[in-house]
A and B are shown apart, each in its own frame.
Chain A
Amino acid sequence: MAEPNPGTDSQAVSAPADAPDPTGGATGPSKPRPSVRTKTPSRTGDRVFSGLSATVAVLMAVLVVVIFAFLVKSAIPALSANQANFFTTRTWSTDGDPIKFGIAALFWTTAISSVIALLIAVPLAIGIALFITQMAPRRLAGPVAFVVDLLAAVPSIIFGLWGSIVLAQAGFLEWIRSALIAVLGWIPIFSETPSWTDPSGTVFLASIVLAIMILPIITATSRDVMAQTPRDQIEASLALGATRWEVIKMAVLPHARSGIISGSMLGLGRALGETLAVTLILQQVSQMQLRRVFDPSIFTGGDTFASKIARDFPEALNDPQSLGALVASGLALFVITFFVNGAARMIAERGVKR
């Protein structure tokens, strides 16, 4: 807005073509008055608008603080009554006295399921985005983009039902599972656990469904950035004799890097907080086993922060201590997503600077 323009004034709705002169700014909508007025144009609209947007922005900040305060306030009684270390305890027992609970197992399941989901989804998303923006003929690119976007519109309960009933019994998953165990079984994350003999109810299955769920977000952001790759760079590369792969490697991907990363972080945020699908899919490891040994494998069950809260909330309602413990885990999730978003922002900004 370098030029003073009457269009910014709410009272002046005159066509922009007839107002090269700022003094004509205060004219009425129908008849331009010839009188020469020295008064500066009214800024009521500006003030109202900026006031409104400032209020909304401040309200949002206040809302975040209020949510945080609520979480802290409801969590403190349970946390102070907690007889176990909140950060290192794996088990969760809030219906006896004294109460003992910790988030170690929840944190691990949440983190590993989200990270694996990202590992699966990001390469796929980049591939799809490259296909849509660089390789596919226009006739094909539109429909493919549309279908991928459509995935984002599928409610998470559908993913949950599909994952727990259909995908859990799918033969190829069992095949992937055995292959991973055979090849990478020496890594604790991929080790086999005795009582979990198929993919149903495991973190592995949840990760795959999460990957499908976050695919559209990552694809959409990557696609938007890739589509903005400067035409001249691509053409210059081609003129220098680069192959299509070299064009993608040298012009498109470097340009799209920050977009891909911020899209991935958005996806990670969704994966961390996804509740319904994960609640439907995951089966749990009993408290007894959790107490005995920590099993980092993705081929066992578990509970994420969100699924634990969703599962236990109805029965915890009239017991302030159980509820407080759940809220405390919610607080942990809140803080984690906060940091993930912060990190995403930092990475994205650094990418822009380069």
Chain B
Amino acid sequence: MKTTRLAMITATALLGSVALAACGSQESSSGASPSATETSSSSTAAASSSDASTADSSSAPAADVKYTPTCPGGSINGAGSSAQANAITQVINNYKTACKGKGQINYSISGSGAGVSAFIGKQIDWAGSDSALSADKGEVDKAKARCSANDAWHLPLAAGPIAVVFNVDGVTDLNLSSETLAGIFSGAITKWDDEAIKQENPNANLPSANISVFYRSDESGTTDNFTNYLNKAAGDVWTEEHSKQWKGTGKGADKSAGVSQAVKSTKDSISYVEWSYASKNNLSMAAIDNGNGPVKLTGESAGKAVSAAKVVGSGNNLQLDLQYKDTPAGVYPAVLVTYQIVCSKGLDAQKTALIKDFMSFYASSEQQNDIQKLGYAPLPGDVASKVLTAAQAIS
């Protein structure tokens, strides 16, 4: 009798702890990925005051892409990239206003990888991803199977420049060439008063201190795109291929928020982070010299990078190949493009109608200009009109 009772108590305790553990993990995962709607209001307010808005007037796209939503109603769910979180939240809110609440669009921030796998697993209707589907990993075929044997299309809808942020006392402007950047991030340049940095900044009062390099310790599309830029632009210094895992030197911090926080609180530090985080935290941003003079990060200079990109997908599949090396004067090279990955065909009629309407709305100049306040580069008119055509071709 005694043993049975003991067994019962132990079992209950174990069961309880397992249940608790389950709760705990659930809690933590939902804590890490807040729903898009929750984060929207604060980020809008915080980002608007910064210098992200200064480029407003100069960068109106040449051709105005107009779209009036048809508001078919219904509900769609998307998930993925955190890089476009603020942008899509804003656009979803605008869409709701434009349609007077008709149509329910949800986007949860789970990270690009998780978004793509949820899309392939048919849990969501579209995915937001910072990198295109990889044919090598079989993602293209899997996505095709998910769309009932129709191609999945990439729609580039949010261009997020990656800012090189630094925190050095008394220095607000810094020009860095791609080679010097690669040197700093690969650990070849360790002091702020290194000859290479001095030469590019003759007027700056650089301290003789060690450079604290911070990087994103979680796997991220930002790291992937930034290392791609370093590798393409300064291949002889940064020899590693692009990857989501950081291969350079430095100290790791968690997510964009952690990196910004680390740079803000650490003297003599440097890192790379999405523009919106840089401006939200009032961090100083370096101008990048990619061979044709230093270029400051503005909506215009980053938008030009998207314009200059080659479309490598076929037809309406707008996969972009950004040009990282020898960019023309006035083009900011380190830009990340977030794709919406959608089924070209194969969703049910109502969802198709809403996705089509929402993506077209997202591509319109009005929305693209609106998200610039949040630290995104508006899509140039030519790219936006291609995206609009593609979105309209979804059936």
Contacts and interface: CB of A to CB of B under 8 A. Distances in A.
Interface of A: 1, 8, 49-50, 52-54, 56-57, 59-60, 63, 92-96, 157, 165, 168-169, 194-196, 198, 200-201, 275-276, 279-280, 283-289, 301, 303, 310-312, 314-319, 322
A169 to B, nearest CB: 7
Contacts of A284: 217, 251-253
Interface string B253-269: 11000100110011000
A286 B215 CA distance: 8
A36 to B, nearest CB: 27
A101 to B, nearest CB: 10
B51 to A, nearest CB: 26
Interface residues of B, number: 55
B252 A56 contact: no
B241 interface: yes
B111 A1 contact: no
Given A96-B243, A195-B210, A60 B14 contact: yes
Contacts of A301: 251-252
Nearest to B221: A315
A63 B18 CA distance: 10
B370 interface: no
B212 A195 contact: yes
Nearest to B127: A318
Interface in B260-295: 261-262, 265-266
The 10 lowest CB-CB distance pairs between A and B, nearest first, are A284-B252, A318-B117, A315-B219, A314-B111, A53-B8, A315-B113, A56-B11, A284-B217, A1-B1, A311-B218
A24 B234 CA distance: 94
A63 to B, nearest CB: 7
Contacts of B243: 95-96
B219 A276 contact: no
Q: Which of A53, A168, A318 has the most CB of B within 10 A?
A: A318
B244 interface: yes
B114 interface: yes
Given A60-B11, A60-B14, A318-B113, A288 B217 contact: no
Nearest to A157: B31
A56 B28 contact: no
A319 B31 contact: no
Contacts of B218: 311-312, 314-315
29 contacts: A1-B2, A53-B4, A53-B11, A56-B7, A57-B7, A57-B10, A94-B245, A95-B219, A95-B245, A165-B261, A195-B210, A276-B28, A280-B254, A283-B251, A286-B213, A287-B245, A288-B187, A312-B219, A314-B33, A314-B110, A315-B111, A315-B114, A316-B219, A317-B117, A318-B114, A318-B116, A318-B117, A318-B137, A319-B137
Q: Which of B8, B210, B251 has the most CB of A within 10 A?
A: B251
A60 B12 CA distance: 10
Contact of B113 (A1, A60, A275, A316): A316
Contact of B11 (A57, A196, A285): A57
A271 to B, nearest CB: 15
